[in-house]
Amino acid sequence: MFSASAQLYDAIYGACKDYAGEAAQLAALVRRVHPGAHTVLDVGCGTGEHAKNLRMNHGFAVDGLDIDPGLLSVARQKLPEAEFFEADMGTFALSRHYDVVMCLFSSIGYLTTLDRVTAALRCFRQHLAPDGVAVVEPWFAPGVLTVGPGSTKNGEANGVRVERSSETKVEGRLSTLVFNYRIEDATGVRLVQEVHRLGLFTEAEMLASFLSAGLAATHDSSGLTGRGLYVARVAA
């Protein structure tokens, strides 16, 4: 999925995404809704930046799960004390439960269909400890995204410079993000393209998916980054 950018992911997002601030918001949220929470599973953890901040700055014991081996390799280097699992968020089965199962940065959108979203939420519920909480940051609802060229992001890490331009396309309930990378290092310049597809779901559809998975959710329209946030517990 991030085949071109796994080793450059932090360079791209480090300058524009406030992981530390988001982790602080999450920690405050979790302590408010589940004061005794300690263990966290970060589903779609990427390179582990949220996990790192929650562990180092807020005292949570955070493990991670992602389908991308390149991103997981980076995460394991950052947090060798954590467990990182390579698995699909819609089908994973671990031999442990967590006080919090979270899925951030719109990773849930990569499932593209409501059936797959519900399957993932069911997995989340199955891995919650008693009185556990699921926290999900969604992708955008239909009609919100601006179609066409997007912003250009630049980053640098370990002598490698990267420029990423993007274009957004929407067809029905599927958004397609095309990322074009210009990567420059000591060996020269190379151009790489990635295509990311994310489903577009309404708030009502997401809440219904939570219920179908056995979870009762509330929705905060602002959330951590303006994309909204769902907080759910096992339904009575």
Is the Cβ–Cβ distance between 102 and 63 less than 8 Å? no
**Which pLDDT score is estimated for 12?**
73
**pLDDT for position 161:** 87
CA distances from 206 to 138, 199, 212 (A): 9, 11, 10
Are both 6-141+202-234 and 148-199 of the same fold?
no
DSSP assignment string, 68-128: -HHHHHHHHHH-TTS-EEE--TTT---S--EEEEEE-TTGGGGG-SHHHHHHHHHHHHHTE
Please answer whether residues 45 and 75 qualify as being in contact, where contact means their C-beta atoms are separated by less than 8 angstroms.
yes
Quick one: which of 178, 193, 207 has its CA closest to 117?
Answer: 207
The alpha carbon of residue 181 and the mean position of all alpha carbons in its chain are separated, in whole angstroms, by 21
In sequence order, which residues have a C-beta less than 8 Å from that of residue 187 and are 6 or more positions away?
none
What is the DSSP track for 14-44?
HTT--HHHHHHHHHHHHHHH-TT--EEEEET
Regions in the chain scoring below 50 on pLDDT: none
Given the candidates 3.30.360.10, 3.40.50.150, 2.30.140.10, 2.20.130.10, the CATH classification of the domain at 148-199 is 2.20.130.10
Domain range 6-141+202-234, CATH architecture = 3-Layer(aba) Sandwich (3.40)
Instruction: Give pLDDT, residue 11.
Output: 72
The domain segmentation of the chain, as residue ranges, is 6-141+202-234, 148-199
pLDDT, position 6: 60
CB 102 within 8 A of CB 43: yes
Q: Determine the Cα–Cα distance for residues 104 and 44; give it in Å rounded to an integer.
A: 7
